[in-house]
Amino acid sequence: MKKNLLVPILGVLLCLWMASCVKDTDFDQAENITLTPVVELDLIYFDLEAADFYNDETNTPRLTVSDTTEIRFLDDTEIQESLKKAEFLFVFTNSIPRSFQADFQFLDVANETTYATSTTVAEGSPENAVLSEFTETVEGNDILALTQADKVVVSLTLPSSDANLEGSLNLKSKTTYYLEIKERN
């Protein structure tokens, strides 16, 4: 009489394997888990021509141009409580023969400034665009102010403009959010 022992042996080995996987597991440690995700998001993007800084109808310079972008990511309570640090990277490509003052205002729903920063964009030329990078790191007490914002306004100001001004100004930016997510009681 020939017996097939393969099935019982595999059954015993499977039971031993499963018992060894669970034997030393401490499920109470699951409460002490902290997740630290890093989230990268695009923030602001625009292309402006030199003509955007001059009003042809009134023949007057327009020395400041502004743009508003909503920040929907920060309006979640869980995100606000978990945010530990934020890094903003602004990359300007300027082929306008003027330097710019770039101001960034983070505003709450009542349009009150919760956080602000600024930088200078280097002068370029139509033949030679100049790259300017600006990184702003927000952490510590400033994080609370930043999380109260629901939009960011970027204002670009140049010292002078005329109808003959040539070139363009490009902005690309991204934000990196560093979160720490713990179990809340």
Structure tokens, 69:
């972008």
How many Å separate Cα 34 from the centre of its chain?
22
Tens digits of residue pLDDT in 12-39: 766 666 665 555 666 666 666 788 889 9
For 71-125, the pLDDT digits (tens) are 877 777 888 888 999 999 999 999 999 999 999 999 999 999 999 999 999 999 9
Residue 1 pLDDT greater than 50, yes or no: no
Residue % of the chain over a pLDDT of 70: 83
Does position 2 have pLDDT exceeding 60, yes or no? no
Q: Is 53 helix (H, G, I), strand (E, B) or coil?
A: helix
Residue 140's nearest CA partner among 102, 89, 178, 90 is: 178
Q: Please report the pLDDT score of residue 76 as a whole number.
A: 76
Q: Structure tokens of 21?
A: 């996987």
Question: Which letter does DSSP use for residue 128 in this model?
Answer: B
CB-CB contact of 105 with 113 (8 Å) = yes
| pLDDT (0 to 100) of residue 78 | 81
In angstroms, the CA 140 to CA 138 distance is 7
What's the pTM value of the predicted model, to 2 decimals?
0.78
Provide the 10 A C-beta neighbour count for residue 158: 22
Domains (range + CATH), the chain: 28-182 (2.60.120)
